[in-house]
């Protein structure tokens, strides 16, 4: 692999290949700043990751989840987060996409109030993509970003732009192209640090600031670490305290039980919480992986109308508004097809219903994945918000959510089907193929699939195999889909949703999901997809590991990143 050695601080070096824009992104001062972040906070980050592992072990042994008794005083106290800056007051429609020039230009020009440039779920972290993403953010902040397609079409920024917010990668991910003292740097510190270092002062001069979405947090101690990182960065860069603002994605079941504490830890920097619903579903499967017989129904059946998902959203809105923060709704992942008006009509009707539900539930804004959905979502929030920038006055005093409301995962009418098995395999194969080829946001079957939705597919495959799920044959609900008890409240904080008795009752009428059956369907899907997908064989090997290994693999992106880096090295050789 050809490399461009560079040292901005003793022990810090680039070990990735020489790629375009490397010199202006990884300057010596920027490298020194990254090294300072890594040295200051590496041990704490690693300790928090070890804490995650211990908590998973406790859950595997039967521990329960509940609101924390030791932070009851925080929940009872009267406090509010800092007021939102002017350009984060109105967030009624936010659009998301990878930090890539063409998508960034289209999103910033889309008419949305906020654009989230994603370095996490929607970006395949090839070294070239990471550096190009940072360079594109620098250009976007300075209003010089442009792109010319291979066909010669030129894309430029317009006059009215969405507010730029950046999502760095999660605490768990390494950046193996940068090392400090022989160890990979934290991908979180790299993404956050480079964006802040290069852009904070320019953003302030434009009456904006460095704004972030924080992914995959599992508890308030992880939020405390981010808050300390913000304070350190503001002091190091000489910018005012409170300049950095963060919206936290509540996309783990453990974080859902610590929403107030997370806002409290970040109260001088917090701008809101977001209902990251796809990762949230993935988190539930992961956290309760050892619950005997627990199986969710087909992914398409896990909707926001499920009682536990309604409880999660209601609690998020109530928590945010009580503390003066924005509550941002979930993603509309539909990708309009200009060639198929029938598909569009059906899908847009679903989007309208989803956004109407969110607006009337009290959310202050929502997410979409495609510019064509911006006016669709905005119309539903305009009807509720009118000329007001948000609806934080809606305190949702009617909401009473207990731990068992969040952990009773019964989905009425849920079914596990052969079609669902095949769909999970198909989506996981195609997405992993795309990701390994360097594209992290893949339009599959008129849906924008990213790492979060792919995680559901592969996690569900593991869940069905591990618990020998019985597939429904005739369309009737499988007994106990998503629920181990059909009546009565769940024990506080312990997942209700294990389908006890389903396996034996269903053997005569339905097919049991086994490793052999999974591999048979996988081979069939590979034949249908054909040889045209360049990384499909690697994707299939990776999916087999993720779905059949006895121990649940925590994140597919960790395993896939190993393959991605190896592929880069092979190309360099």
Contact yes or no for 115/94 (Cβ under 8 A): yes
Question: Measured between alpha carbons, how far is 368 from 115 in angstroms, rounded to an integer?
Answer: 10
Query: How far is it, in rounded angstroms, from Cα 355 to Cα 349?
Result: 10
Give the active site residue among 167, 322, 378, 494.
167
Q: How many CB atoms lie within 10 A of CB 486?
A: 12
Q: How many Å apart are CA 235 and CA 520, to the nearest integer?
A: 57
Euclidean distance between CA atoms 524 and 511, whole angstroms: 17
Contacts for 230 with CB less than 8 Å, ≥ 6 apart? 244, 246, 266, 269
Distance in Å from the first CA to the final CA of the chain: 5
Length of the chain counted residue by residue: 573
Residue 244, both tokens: 């950095």
How far is 358 from 363, CA to CA, in rounded Å? 6
Structure tokens at 565: 């880096």
CB within 8 Å of 15: residues ≥ 6 apart = 3, 176, 177, 178, 179
- Inter-CA distances, 129 with 101, 125, 191, 437, Å: 10, 6, 12, 11
User: Following CA atoms 49, 52, 56, 61 in sequence, which dihedral angle do they give, to the nearest 10 degrees?
Assistant: 110
Angle 556-572/451-466 helices, nearest 10 degrees?
Answer: 120
Residue among 172, 189, 168, 173 at smallest CA distance from 53:
172
Question: Could you tell me which of 5, 41, 18 has the C-alpha nearest to residue 185?
Answer: 41
Instruction: Mention every residue, 6+ apart, whose C-beta is less than 8 A from residue 278.
Output: 251, 330, 331, 452, 453, 455, 456
- Among residues 450, 458, 494, 503, the one annotated as catalytic is 450
* 517 carries an active-site annotation: no
Q: What angle do CA 154, 165, 17 make, to 5 degrees?
A: 65
Picking from 184, 29, 122, 2, the residue whose alpha carbon sits closest to that of residue 130 is 122
- Check if the beta carbon of residue 162 is closer than 8 Å to that of residue 115: yes
Rounded Cα distance between 446 and 346, Å, is 12
Question: What are the residues facing 156 on neighbouring strands?
Answer: 146
Q: Do 167 and 211 contact (CB within 8 A), yes or no?
A: no
Catalytic annotation present for 450: yes
> What are the backbone dihedrals phi and psi of residue 409, each rounded to the nearest 5 degrees, phi first?
-95, 25
Between β-strands 93-98 and 365-368, what pairing exists: parallel, antiparallel or unpaired?
parallel
Give me the phi and psi of 23, to 5 degrees please: -65, -40
Would you state the structure tokens that stand for residue 70, as one six-digit string? 């030791």
Question: Which residues are identified as catalytic?
Answer: 167, 450
């Amino acid at each position: 692999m050809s490399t461009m050695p560079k040292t901005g601080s003793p022990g810090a070096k680039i070990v990735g290949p020489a790629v375009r824009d490397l010199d202006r992104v990884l300057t010596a001062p920027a490298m020194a700043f990254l090294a300072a972040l890594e040295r200051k906070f590496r041990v704490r980050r690693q300790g928090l990751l070890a804490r995650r592992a211990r908590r998973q072990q406790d859950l595997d042994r039967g521990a329960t989840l509940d609101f924390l008794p030791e932070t009851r005083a925080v929940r009872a106290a009267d406090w509010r987060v800092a007021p939102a800056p002017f350009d984060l007051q109105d967030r009624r429609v936010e659009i998301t996409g990878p930090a890539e020039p063409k998508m960034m230009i289209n999103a910033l020009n889309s008419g949305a109030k906020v654009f989230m440039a994603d370095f996490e779920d929607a970006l395949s972290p090839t070294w070239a993509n990471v550096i190009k993403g940072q360079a594109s953010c620098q250009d976007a902040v300075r209003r010089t970003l442009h792109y010319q397609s291979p066909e010669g079409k030129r894309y430029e920024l317009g006059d009215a732009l969405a507010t730029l917010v950046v999502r760095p990668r999660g605490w768990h991910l390494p950046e193996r192209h940068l090392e400090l003292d022989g160890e990979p740097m934290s991908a979180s510190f790299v993404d956050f640090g480079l964006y802040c270092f290069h852009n904070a002062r320019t953003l302030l001069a434009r009456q904006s600031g460095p704004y972030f979405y924080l992914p995959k947090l599992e508890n308030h101690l992880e939020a405390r670490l981010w808050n300390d990182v913000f304070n350190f960065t503001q002091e190091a860069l000489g910018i005012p305290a409170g300049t950095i603002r963060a919206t936290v994605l509540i996309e783990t079941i453990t974080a859902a039980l610590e929403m107030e504490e997370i806002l409290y830890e970040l109260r001088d920097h917090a701008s809101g919480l977001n209902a990251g619903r796809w990762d949230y579903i993935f988190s539930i499967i992961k956290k309760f992986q050892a619950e005997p017989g627990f199986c969710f129904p087909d992914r398409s059946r896990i909707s926001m109308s499920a009682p536990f998902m309604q409880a999660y959203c209601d609690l998020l809105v109530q928590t945010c508004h009580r503390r003066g923060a924005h509550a941002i709704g979930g993603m509309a992942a539909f990708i309009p097809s200009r060639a198929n008006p029938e598909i569009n009509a059906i899908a847009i009707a679903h989007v309208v219903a989803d956004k109407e539900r969110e607006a009337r539930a009290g959310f202050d804004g929502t997410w979409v994945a495609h510019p064509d959905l911006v006016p669709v979502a905005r119309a539903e929030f305009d009807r509720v918000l009118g000329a007001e920038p948000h609806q934080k006055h809606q305190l949702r005093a009617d909401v009473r959510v207990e731990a068992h409301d969040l952990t009773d995962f019964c989905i009425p009418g849920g079914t596990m089907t052969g079609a669902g098995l095949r769909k999970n395999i198909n989506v996981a194969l195609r997405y992993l193929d795309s990701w390994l080829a360097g594209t992290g946001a893949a339009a599959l079957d008129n849906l924008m699939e990213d790492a979060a939705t792919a995680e559901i597919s592969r996690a569900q495959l593991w869940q069905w195999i591990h618990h020998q799920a019985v597939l429904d044959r005739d369309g009737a609900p499988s007994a106990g889909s998503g629920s181990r008890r059909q009546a009565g409240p769940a024990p506080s904080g312990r997942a209700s949703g294990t389908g006890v008795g389903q396996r034996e009752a269903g053997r005569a009428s339905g097919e049991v999901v086994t490793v052999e059956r999974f591999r048979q369907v996988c081979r069939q899907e590979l034949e249908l997809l054909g040889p045209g997908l360049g990384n499909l064989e690697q994707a299939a090997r990776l999916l087999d590991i993720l779905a059949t290994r006895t121990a649940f693999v925590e994140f597919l992106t960790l395993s896939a990143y190993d393959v991605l880096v190896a592929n880069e090295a092979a190309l360099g050789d």
